Amino acid sequence: MASTTSSLDIRHSTCPHDCPSACALDIEVIDQAKIGRVRGSKQQSYTAGVICAKVARYAERIHHPDRLLYPLKRSGPRGSGQYARISWDEALDEIAMRFDQAERDHGAESVWPYYYAGTMGLVMRDGINRLANVKKYSRFFGTICSTIARAGFAAGTGKIAGVDPREMAKSDLVVIWGTNAVATQVNVMTHATRARKERGARIVVIDVYDNETMKQADIKILLRPGTDGALACGVMHVLFRDGYADRDYLARYTDCPDELEAHLASRTPQWASAICGVPVDEIESFARAIGQTKRSFFRLGHGFTRSRNGAAQMHAALCIPAVTGAWQYEGGGAFFNNGAIWRLDKTLIEGLDSIDPATRRLDQSKIGRILTGDPVALRDGPPVKAMLIQNTNPVTVAPEQALVRRGFARDDLFVAVHEQFMTETAQLADIVLPATMFMEHDDLYYGGGHQHLSVGAKLIEPPGECRSNHQVIQGLAARLNAKHRAFELTARAIIDATLQNSGRGGVDALQAELWRDLQPDFRAAHYLDGFAHPDGKFHFKADWSRVALSHAGLDGPWQQMPALPDHWAVIEQVDDAHPFRLATSPARSFLNTSFTETPSSRSREGRPTVLMHPADAAKLDVAEGDAVTLGNQRGETTLNAKLFDGVRQGVLVAESIHPNHAHAGGSGINVLTGADPVAPHGGAAFHDNKVWARKAASPNPSPVAIKRS
Ligand code: SF4
């Protein structure tokens, strides 16, 4: 749909990037191949006219001179950067031939289609699963983003849905916990600051460093990484002790309030403070603020999902509004994600009717172990011999980077990468295919952080010979004799049928509406007719073996997880050899590595930096700007020190993810992060690392020298 403002042709779409906001966009279309400014739609009530700077300047990205334009075949040693242009037919024939060869020699499960959230469009992101399901290739278990936190939320409420996030604007106390929203989901701030402006609400920010969101807070709570559960218990202790618990609500809506109260008797603010580092008086006053404010809104974020105890921590924080009964009030309750509200039939998109449950599912986070032959990670099945990778850059973003790189260096592994830029993963591929960006194809979107369903139609022609993910999957299916009705349909026809099959009308109607608000009504969103567990109660006592998450098996030490909210000391503890805890929090301008090619993002983020408390720096004889090497049992990487008293002593924060080649020695930050299984369903604990630090022997490359090879 288009509208015209003076001479500008304004078209509408949805931001596809890996961000809960899925912003509604107004895009200036200059001609059939060119866009101008991108703005947030003022009409869509969650976006409310605000988008992040990196997408506002999207023309820099979509018209970037380094975009991949033609299929390429490796012509030199792996990693040499030597490629020759080939035709699409040659490229797809080669991939199909190598997949068939792997299947003949090692079985269908030796082929592993691998993808993630470089686009959140349902057809372009998830269509690769249809190929895997029809061909009985190894299935993909996506754990890198939110699996850990989702388990914690569902353990309490029974499903992944919460209060309308727009209700933050009607809250009197907005608690932003575990998300640097200014950097990663700017719309949270739109609604939270509206509450402050219009109602005098206070904003509380809880995080491991004084980030850009915390700078806007009325109440700042700076805690040690992986200790949120302790803080939550200390707060609930005060709520029970001082008469702020809503006894009527607890009796009606929760499973075991008396047991919880008894359990919390020993979880005093003093106990919590010793673990999380937050002074006792701050815990007491935060608890009082919650207890005295009926409309307390807990916006819980992805920070919880980056810790080995993240599920238990998310559950502990989520218990607080159940103790006070804040769920009853407009502007009160909690929200993490709206995964349960969409109810879309994705059979066509993913080929769900072709799944063989006996086919193994390989955990995305364990790619390093999988490619280096770890039998546990391979689930005792055949080695992975061939891959197609779409929408992700595991050589830079996956944990255990040393293993990942060793795996991709294998001579006996065939890798095809379908990408927009020559990422560090594409540089190790045998075949590289050029991919469209979201304005160059049709797709269907919803936002994890809100409630709008929308179609993003193709607005301009792609450059060169770029093809969409769906076109590539179609081309491979034809060559691999993979049969499914959706391989014969266009992306738009799949969207239309998916909507129809889900009782949501068709694609034309949705596109004409621009978006559709699917927010459940007030009673449902606030669980006023009961929570989603069979007993209708909020569960203080988590049953981790039965958390409702589709198709996720149990993993990690789930039997050791605390049932009642607690501090679960399973995080990597510092020791004499590793005296620092490291969090790899998201950099404002990169969105993982999606924007590391964009000039203004690179210029804003500069060199890889580690935030270090001045007292820690003094002990290491490190001055501002010095190169510092961090290391642990998994590897070493080098960053530049930024002295910063907005972290607790002993805590380091590296805003990420810079390209590996931006670090001296070429190992990126994820050389330090682990992929050991996180309970209860797997995942990667990116903020949960013990490390040592020392002044580096050699400096990092200058920002000018950080150029793509
Ligand atoms: S805030 Fe998130 S969804 Fe919105 S434009 Fe930026 S990256 Fe896209």
Residue with tokens 């012509």: 75
Q: Is 488 in the same domain as 369? A: yes
pLDDT of 410 over the 90 cut: yes
Q: What is the separation of C-alpha 196 from the centre of its chain, rounded to a whole number of angstroms?
A: 28
Beta partners for residue 635, in sequence order: 632
DSSP at 138? P
Q: Do 316 and 387 belong to one domain?
A: no
Minimum-distance ligand 1 atom for the alpha carbon of 40: 5
Determine the pLDDT at residue 553.
82
Task: Output the CA–CA distances (angstroms, integers) from residue 358 to 109, 324, 352, 379, in the order listed.
Answer: 11, 45, 14, 12
User: What is the DSSP secondary-structure string of 353-418?
Assistant: GG--TTS-EEEGGGHHHHHTT-TTTTTTSPPP-EEEEES--HHHHSSSHHHHHHHHT-TT-EEEEE
Region 647-667: mean pLDDT is: 96
- Kindly state whether residues 369 and 493 are assigned to the same domain: yes
Residues 400 and 480 placed together within one structural domain of the fold: yes
Structural domain tally of the chain? 4
Residue 28 lies inside a defined structural domain of this protein: yes
CATH number at residue 309: 3.40.228.10
Residue 165 CA, ligand 1 centroid: distance in Å: 16
Burial of 702 (0-12, 13-18, 19+ CB in 10 A): exposed
Distance 183 CA to ligand 1 centre (A): 10
pLDDT tens per residue, range 540-578: 999 999 886 656 688 999 999 999 999 999 999 999 999
Which structural domain, as residue segments, surrounds residue 259?
148-336
Q: In the numeric block, which tokens belong to residue 233?
A: 């218990």
| Residue 706 reports pLDDT greater than 50 | no
The domain that contains 643 carries what CATH number? 2.40.40.20
Domain's final residue, options 286, 306, 336: 336
pLDDT single digits (tens) 660-703: 999 999 999 999 999 999 999 989 999 999 999 999 977 776 65
CA distance 614 to 607: 19
Is the shortest distance between the CB of 55 and ligand 1 below 6 Å?
Answer: yes
User: Ligand 1: distance of its center to the CA of 122 in Å?
Assistant: 17
Same domain, 119 and 82: yes
Q: Is residue 574 part of a domain?
A: no
* Residue 580 pLDDT exceeds 80: yes
Q: What is the pLDDT of residue 703?
A: 56
Closest atom of ligand 1 to CA, residue 187: 1
Ligand 1 probe mutation, 18, 145, 185, 452, most atoms within 8 A of CB: 185
Residue 8 has a pLDDT of 81
Whichever domain contains 100, its CATH number is 3.40.50.740
Sequence-ordered alpha helix ranges (H) in 88-225: 88-106, 122-135, 147-157, 181-184, 186-199
Q: Does one domain contain both 238 and 271?
A: yes
User: What is the whole-number distance in angstroms between the Cα of residue 176 and the centre of ligand 1?
Assistant: 18
Pocket test for ligand 1, best of 13, 14, 18, 21 (most atoms within 8 A of CB): 21
Mutation probe of ligand 1 site: the residue of 14, 15, 145, 450 with most atoms within 8 A of C-beta: 15
CA of 18 to the centre of ligand 1 (A): 8
CATH code of the domain containing 53: 3.30.200.210
**496 CA to centre of own chain:** 27
| Residues ≥6 apart with Cβ < 8 Å to 62 | 35, 437, 439, 440
**What is the amino acid identity at position 695?**
K
Establish whether residue 581 lines the binding site of ligand 1, counting it when its CB lies within 6 angstroms of any ligand atom.
no
Report the alpha-carbon distance of residue 502 to residue 453 in Å, rounded. Answer: 12
One domain, residues 49 and 135: no
Q: Which of 36, 19, 26 is nearest to 2 (CA)?
A: 26
**Residue 47 · residue 41 · CB < 8 Å:** yes
- Residue 118's closest CA among 110, 126, 108? 126
Q: What are phi and psi of 654, to 5 degrees?
A: -115, 105
Ligand 1 geometric centre to CA of 473 (Å): 27
For residue 19 and ligand 1, the question of a CB distance below 6 A is answered with: yes
Domain boundary among the residues 474, 497, 517 is at: 517
Average pLDDT over residues 339-348: 96
172-177: average pLDDT = 98
Asked if 60 contacts 53 with a C-beta cutoff of 8 angstroms, the reply is: no
Say if residue 61 is exposed, middle or buried (CB neighbours under 10 Å; 0-12, 13-18, 19+). Answer: buried
pLDDT of residue 697: 79
How far apart are the CA of 14 and the centre of ligand 1, in A? 9
- Give the ligand 1 atom nearest the CA of 38: 5
> Tokens 């590289």 label which residue?
432
Structure tokens at 530: 């009961």
Residue 39 lies in a domain: yes
662 with 700: CB under 8 angstroms?
A: yes
Question: Which of the four pLDDT bands, split at 50, 70 and 90, describes residue 642?
Answer: very high
Task: Give the residue among 310, 293, 290 at the shortest CA–CA distance from 302.
Answer: 310
Count CB neighbours of 699 within 10 A: 13
| Same domain as 156, residue 137 | no
Task: Give the residue from 472, 497, 517 where a domain finishes.
Answer: 517
Assess whether the C-beta atom of 52 lies below 6 angstroms from ligand 1.
Answer: yes
Residues 44 and 96 in one domain: no
Locus of tokens 């979201």: 438
Parallel/antiparallel/unpaired status of strands 689-695 and 580-583: antiparallel
Q: Which two tokens stand for residue 243?
A: 């008469």
**Per DSSP, what are the bridge partners of residue 203?**
174
Q: What's the pLDDT at 676? A: 93
**Residues 587-615: pLDDT tens digits?**
999 999 999 999 989 889 999 999 999 99
- Asked if residue 303 is part of any domain, the answer here is yes
CB of residue 17 inside a 6 A radius of ligand 1: yes
Mean pLDDT of 448-473: 97
Q: Verify whether ligand 1 is closer than 6 Å to residue 51 (CB atom).
A: yes
What is the structure's pLDDT at 702?
64
Are the beta carbons of 431 and 147 closer than 8 angstroms? no
- With the most atoms of ligand 1 within 8 angstroms of its CB, the residue from 12, 14, 18, 23 to mutate is 23
Q: How many CB atoms lie within 10 A of CB 316?
A: 30
**DSSP β-bridge partners for residue 207:** 222
Residue 543 lies in a domain: no
Sign of CA dihedral 132, 133, 136, 138: positive
Express each pLDDT in 294-319 by its tens digit.
Answer: 999 999 999 999 999 999 999 999 99
What distance in angstroms lies between residue 55's CA and the mean position of ligand 1's atoms?
6
Higher pLDDT pick, 280 / 707: 280
Residue type, 541: K
Is the model's pLDDT at 246 over the cut of 50? yes
CB proximity list for 15: less than 8 A, separation 6 or greater: 21, 22, 23, 25, 51, 55, 438
Query: Do residue 179 and residue 328 come from a single domain?
Result: yes
Is the residue at 673 inside a domain? yes
39 CA → ligand 1 middle, Å = 11
Question: Is residue 535 in some structural domain?
Answer: no
Give pLDDT tens digits for 193-206: 999 999 999 999 99
pLDDT value of residue 708: 42
Percent of the chain whose predicted confidence (pLDDT) is above 70: 97
Token pair belonging to 702: 């200058």
CA torsion 247-230-540-559 (nearest 10°) is -160
Is the same domain home to 268 and 234?
Answer: yes
d(CA 635, CA 623): 23
- Alpha carbon distance 183, 511 (integer Å): 29
Of residues 340, 339, 336, 341, the one with CA closest to residue 153? 336
Task: Answer yes or no: are the C-beta atoms of 698 and 568 closer than 8 Å.
Answer: no
Evaluate whether residue 564 is within a structural domain.
no
Q: Looking at the predicted structure, is the pLDDT value of residue 2 above 70? A: no
| pLDDT at 1 (0 to 100) | 47
Tell me the CA distances in angstroms from 21 to 17, 166, 340, one per residue in order.
Answer: 9, 12, 16
Asked whether the beta carbons of 308 and 685 are under 8 A apart, the reply is: yes
Q: Clarify whether residues 404 and 462 are in a common domain.
A: yes
Query: What is the average pLDDT value for the chain, to the nearest integer?
Result: 95
Distance of alpha carbon 482 from the chain centroid: 31
